[in-house]
C-alpha cells in the first residue's frame, strides 16, 4: 500500500474535528521546557538572527501533515519553536499546495506546502518539479526535504517501477541536484526519514537512510548550504507484531506510516535543531 490521498475526506474530517473541538486541540502551548530555554521576547534569535525565514516544506503526505489532528503536520510545531526562539521574527511557509487549518491567520502560509501524498522520489521528479520551481521563484531561503517513505515500501506493495530502496538515494541525489540548480543559495535540509514499524518498511528504511549523509556532504563540499537531519528515531519505538496487527504507540498512527501529533512534534524539534546548526554554519549570513 502506498501513502494514500485522502482528498475531500481529509477536509471533511478536519472540519468535523474543528466543529466539535474548536481550535482548542492544539493551542499555541509553550515548548520552552522541551527546548530547554527561556521564553522571552528580549533575547536575540538563535536561528537566523538577521534574515527572515521563508520555508518550503517538501515531500509526500508526511509533509502535507496527514495523520495529525489539524493536518498541519510538523509546521505549526516548528513555527512555535521558532517563535519561542524569538517572538519578533518573521517566519513564512511557502508552497503551491494547501493542507491544514491554521489556528492563527497571522502565521504566514502555515497551510502552504510542496507535500505530495503518495509520491515517491521519482514521481516528485517527474510530476512536481514545475510547481516546486514556481515556489522556488518566490525565493524561500529554506527547504525542508523529507521524502522516501514510498520508496521503502516492500515489493508486493510498491509499484514495480519504483526503484529498489538501495537505489533510491541515487534518485534522491538527482532530486537534490535539480533543486540546487533551481535555487543554488537555498538552505537545504535533507531528512534521513522516520521509521515505519510496518513489515518491509522497517528493514528498508535504514538501507535508504544510510548513504544520505555522505551524499549531502559531497554537495556541501561543492559550496551548497546543505545538511542532513537524522529523523530515523521517530517511530522506532512502535511495534507491529505481524502484518496488519494494530500499531499503538506514541509517534505513529494506526497505519504505521503517518505520524500522529507526537511524531510530528518530534519532527519539528529535529527541523528546529537543524536550523540551529545551519545558523552556526553561517548558512543564513547574507554574504554567504
Q: What count of Cα atoms within 13 Å lies in the side-chain half-sphere of residue 136?
A: 20
Closest to ligand NAG by CB, 19 vs 221, is 221
Q: Which of 58, 232, 253, 279 binds ligand NAG (CB under 6 A)?
A: 232
Between vectors from CA 176 to CA 173 and to CA 177, what angle results, nearest 5°?
Answer: 85
User: Interface with ligand NAG by CB under 6 A: which range of 10-18, 65-73, 228-236, 269-277?
Assistant: 228-236
Cβ atoms of 148 and 173 closer than 8 Å: no
**Among residues 8 and 156, whose Cβ is nearest to ligand NAG?**
156
Binding mask 110-139 for ligand NAG (x = CB under 6 A): ------------xx--x-------------
Tell which one of 213, 220, 277, 281 touches ligand NAG (CB under 6 A).
Answer: 213
Name every residue whose Cβ is closer than 8 Å to that of residue 51 and which is 6 or more positions away in sequence. Answer: 141, 284, 285, 286
Residue closest to 85 by CA, chosen among 50, 38, 141: 38
Under 8 Å between Cβ of 93 and 64: no
Does 233 interact with ligand NAG (rule: CB under 6 A)?
yes
Q: Does 202 bind ligand NAG (CB under 6 A)?
A: no
Q: Least distance (Å) from ligand NAG to the CB of residue 253? A: 20
Q: Are 212 and 226 in contact (CB under 8 A)?
A: no
The strand ranges marked E within the chain are: 53-59, 91-93, 97-98, 112-115, 142-146, 187-192, 226-230
Smallest gap from residue 236 Cβ to ligand NAG (A): 6
Is residue 95 within 8 A of residue 114, CB to CB? The reply is yes
Closer residue to ligand NAG, CB minimum distance, 204 or 232:
232
Q: Pick from 230, 250, 260, 273: which binds ligand NAG (CB under 6 A)? A: 230
Contacting residue, 27, 88, 130, 161, with ligand NAG by CB under 6 A: 161
At 153, give phi and psi (nearest 5°).
-60, 145
Determine if 146 is a binding residue for ligand NAG (CB under 6 A): no
| Residue 251 found at the interface with ligand NAG (CB under 6 A) | no
Segment near ligand NAG (CB under 6 A), from 47-55, 69-77, 146-154, 230-238?
A: 230-238
Q: Which is nearer to ligand NAG, 26 or 202 (CB)?
A: 202
Give the cell for residue 179.
Answer: 533543486
Let me know the angle formed at the C-alpha of 227 by 226 and 228, rounded to the nearest 5 degrees. 140
- Closest approach of ligand NAG to the CB of residue 123, in Å: 5
Report how far residue 236's alpha carbon sits from residue 202's, in angstroms, rounded to the nearest whole number: 9
If binding is defined by CB under 6 A, does position 27 make contact with ligand NAG? no
Residues at the interface with ligand NAG (CB under 6 A): 122-123, 126, 161, 213, 230, 232-233
Amino acid at each position: 500500500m502506498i501513502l494514500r490521498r485522502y482528498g475531500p475526506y481529509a477536509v471533511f474530517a478536519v472540519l468535523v474535528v474543528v466543529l466539535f473541538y474548536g481550535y482548542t486541540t492544539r493551542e499555541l502551548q509553550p515548548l520552552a521546557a522541551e527546548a530547554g530555554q527561556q521564553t522571552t521576547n528580549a533575547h536575540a534569535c538563535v536561528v537566523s538572527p538577521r534574515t527572515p525565514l521563508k520555508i518550503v516544506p517538501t515531500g509526500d503526505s508526511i509533509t502535507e501533515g496527514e495523520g495529525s489532528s489539524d493536518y498541519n503536520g510538523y509546521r505549526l510545531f516548528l513555527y512555535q519553536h521558532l517563535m519561542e526562539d524569538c517572538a519578533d521574527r518573521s517566519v513564512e511557509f511557502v508552497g503551491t499546495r494547501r493542507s491544514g487549518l491554521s489556528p492563527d491567520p497571522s502565521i504566514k502560509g502555515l497551510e502552504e506546502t510542496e507535500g505530495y501524498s503518495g509520491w515517491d522520489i521519482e514521481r516528485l521528479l517527474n510530476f512536481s518539479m514545475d510547481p516546486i520551481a514556481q515556489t522556488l521563484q518566490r525565493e524561500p531561503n529554506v527547504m525542508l526535504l523529507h521524502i522516501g517513505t514510498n520508496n521503502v515500501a516492500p515489493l508486493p506493495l510498491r509499484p514495480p517501477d519504483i526503484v529498489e530502496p538501495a537505489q533510491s538515494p541515487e534518485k534522491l541525489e538527482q532530486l537534490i541536484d535539480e533543486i540546487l540548480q533551481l535555487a543554488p543559495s537555498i538552505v537545504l535540509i535533507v531528512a534521513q526519514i522516520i521509521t515505519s514499524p510496518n513489515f518491509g518498511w522497517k528493514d528498508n528504511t535504514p538501507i535508504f537512510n544510510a548513504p544520505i549523509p555522505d551524499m549531502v556532504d559531497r554537495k556541501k563540499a561543492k559550496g551548497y548550504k546543505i545538511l542532513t537531519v537524522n529523523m530515523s528515531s521517530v517511530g522506532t519505538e512502535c511495534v507491529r507484531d505481524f502484518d496488519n496487527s494494530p500499531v499503538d504507540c506514541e509517534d505513529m498512527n494506526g497505519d504505521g506510516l503517518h505520524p500522529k501529533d507526537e511524531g510530528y512534534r518530534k519532527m519539528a524539534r529535529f527541523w528546529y535543531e537543524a536550523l540551529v546548526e545551519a545558523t552556526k554554519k553561517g548558512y543564513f549570513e547574507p554574504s554567504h
